[in-house]
């Protein structure tokens, strides 16, 4: 099962929540959707699931539109819990059993134990973390082929967060198609093979996690004087940001780090160093540079 | 085997490269013996809590570098017999070469000349291989 989102746009009145987003998720892949609050992640999920009507664009599953049959193989963990306050955990699992032909009672039982959930407890007596865990159990108990997980670790303690990651990884190894959002970038970095960063509805960065990390560098040159001509540098597509502070020039690049280091040397830099970036740095740079001018100069 | 591997997702080094480096190091040091079976991609992915495609990529590159071999249906193994010693040597070489590259790049970046770097290199050699002076 694969998912294809093509040129998805969603307007709420005059506000454009999702702006021309295209994402492909092959089978056996975990796609991480990152972005600040209000960037359009949840709206993208809702459009994927038919819970919101796209203004334009298309979402297909194995090349086909969403059908009731697709829903039987699809698990959704929404950002805000949709659990019924007066019902117990066991009641919710019973609903899953009725609605999803591939519901697996033994698996559900194991998962309830994994998260130390008591099926007799009513939702209104559950903490935020227990509610998230119950939603995760409901999702994984139906043996889905597609999983749409909106903040599936929110409110969980570190042990349970790790358990959810392992469930996602195990499902991915079985060939499931998974899209995930989380503010915990370190988790996305572990679980996902591809990511996209959304900012004000637009994809500002996307790619394979390993390639993004391998290519993204800060190249820093220290020059003999602060009269450094940076002509033309900001027009290079590989440079996402140019900062100049006195004699120090700092380039944030998405590839070609060694070449830019050589270029700074050729321009007369006394010292050049290349700094590796982790996904959190890359994310913050992507969000930051979509808001600021290309060349930042400070005294 | 999983006990010898750890990944640091906060590091800027891609996770598949971290896995490759650690497997090579383990082979070079004999922590992973020739013929020893590696965990399956799925098992290692779950143990390390990293994406299975990331582990699969590391395994593919380790095969290409002739550190491990995979036979369909049986799994992945550290290369044994004739090739074991040479792959251990190659792995040791890769690790040392990368560390030296980093050191020389750093030395150049702080403005040392070629002869300065050479002198430092000679000093380091004399310190760690005193018997061969």
pLDDT tens-digit map of B17-38: 999 988 988 888 888 888 899 9
pLDDT in tens, chain A (299 residues): 899 999 999 999 999 999 999 999 988 999 999 999 889 999 999 999 988 999 999 999 999 988 888 888 999 998 887 899 999 999 999 999 999 999 999 999 999 999 999 999 999 999 999 999 999 999 999 999 999 999 999 999 999 999 999 999 999 999 999 999 998 898 999 999 999 999 999 999 999 999 999 999 999 999 988 888 777 777 788 898 888 888 999 999 989 998 998 888 888 888 888 899 989 999 988 887 665 545 555 54
CA dist B49 and B47 (Å) reads 6
- Tell me which residue of A187, A183, A98, A196 sits closest to A138, measured CA to CA: A98
Distance from CA of B130 to the nearest CA of A (A): 32
> Please, is A260 exposed, middle or buried when counting C-beta atoms within 10 Å of its C-beta (0-12, 13-18, 19+)?
buried
Identify the contact set of chain A against chain B, taking CB-CB distances under 8 A: 28-30, 162, 165-166, 169-170, 172-173, 186, 189-193, 209-211, 213-214, 216, 270-281
Residues 66-125 of B with CB under 8 A from A: 105-106, 108-111
| Three-class DSSP labels, chain B | CHHHCCCCCCCCCCHHHHHHHHHHHHHHCCCCCCCCECCCHHHHHHHHCCCHHHHHHHHHHHHHCCCEEEECCCEEEECCCHHHHHHHHHHHHHHHHHHHHHHHHHHHHCCCCHHHHHHHHHHHHHHHCHHHC
CA–CA gap between residue A269 and residue A247 (Å, rounded):
9
Question: What is the predicted ipTM?
Answer: 0.84
Pairwise CA distance, residues A221 & A273, whole Å: 7
Nearest CA among A233, A267, A226, A229 for reference residue A253: A233
Q: What pLDDT score was predicted for residue A290?
A: 62
- Give the pLDDT confidence score for residue B2 in this predicted structure: 47
**Tens digits of residue pLDDT in A193-233:** 999 999 999 999 999 999 999 999 999 999 988 888 777 77
Whole-model pTM? Answer: 0.85
| Angle (deg, nearest 10), helices A158-173 and B41-48 | 160
- Comparing CB atoms, the residue among B17, B52, B109 nearest residue A271 is B109
Asked if B10's CB is within 8 angstroms of A186's CB, the reply is yes
Strand residue runs (E) in chain A: 3-12, 15-25, 30-34, 56-61, 74-77, 146-150, 177-181, 194-199, 202-208, 217-222, 239-245, 248-253, 271-276, 295-298
Tally of helices (H runs) and strands (E runs) in chain A? 10, 14
Name the 3-class secondary structure at A118: coil
Contacts of B111 in chain A (CB under 8 A): 270-271
Positions in chain B whose pLDDT score sits under 50: 2, 82
User: A286 — alpha (psi -120 to 50), left (phi > 0) or beta?
Assistant: alpha
Instruction: Please list every residue in chain A whose beta carbon sits closer than 8 Å to the beta carbon of residue B15.
Output: 189-190, 209-210
């Amino acid at each position: 099962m694969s998912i294809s989102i093509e040129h998805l746009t969603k307007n709420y009145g005059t506000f454009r929540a999702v702006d021309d987003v295209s994402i492909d998720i092959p089978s056996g892949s975990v796609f991480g959707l990152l972005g600040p609050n209000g960037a359009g992640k949840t709206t993208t999920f809702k459009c994927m699931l038919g819970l919101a009507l796209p203004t334009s664009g298309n979402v297909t599953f194995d090349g086909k539109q969403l059908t009731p049959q697709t829903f039987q193989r699809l698990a959704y963990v929404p950002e805000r819990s949709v659990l019924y306050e007066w019902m117990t955990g066991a009641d919710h699992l019973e609903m899953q059993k009725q609605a999803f032909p591939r519901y697996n009672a033994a698996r559900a039982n194991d998962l309830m134990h994994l998260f130390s959930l008591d099926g007799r407890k009513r939702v209104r007596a559950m903490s935020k973390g227990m509610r998230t865990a119950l939603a995760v159990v409901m999702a994984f108990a139906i043996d889905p082929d597609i999983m749409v997980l909106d903040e599936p670790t929110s409110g969980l303690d570190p042990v349970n967060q790790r358990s959810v990651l392992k469930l996602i990884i195990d499902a991915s190894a079985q060939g499931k198609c998974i899209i995930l959002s989380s503010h915990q970038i370190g988790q996305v970095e572990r679980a996902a093979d591809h990511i996209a960063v959304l900012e004000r509805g637009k994809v500002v960065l996307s790619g394979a996690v390993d390639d993004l990390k391998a290519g993204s560098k800060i190249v820093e040159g220290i020059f003999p004087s602060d009269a450094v001509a940076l002509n033309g540098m900001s027009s290079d597509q590989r440079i996402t940001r140019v900062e100049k502070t006195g004699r120090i020039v700092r380039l944030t690049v998405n590839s070609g780090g060694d070449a830019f280091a050589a270029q700074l040397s050729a321009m007369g830099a006394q010292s050049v160093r290349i700094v590796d970036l982790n996904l959190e740095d890359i994310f913050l740079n992507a969000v930051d540079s979509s808001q600021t001018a290309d060349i930042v100069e400070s005294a | 085997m999983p006990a010898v591997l750890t990944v640091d997702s906060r590091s800027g080094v891609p996770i598949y490269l971290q896995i490759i480096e650690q497997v090579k190091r383990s082979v070079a040091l004999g922590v992973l013996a020739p013929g020893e079976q590696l965990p399956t991609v799925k098992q290692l992915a779950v143990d390390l809590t990293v994406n299975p495609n990331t582990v699969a990529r590391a395994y593919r590159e380790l095969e290409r570098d002739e550190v491990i071999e995979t036979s369909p249906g049986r799994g992945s193994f550290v290369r044994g017999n004739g090739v074991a010693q040479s792959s251990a040597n190659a792995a040791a070489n890769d690790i040392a070469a990368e560390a030296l590259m980093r050191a020389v790049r750093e030395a150049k970046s702080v403005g040392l000349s070629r002869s300065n770097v050479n002198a430092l290199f000679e000093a380091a050699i004399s310190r760690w291989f005193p018997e061969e002076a």
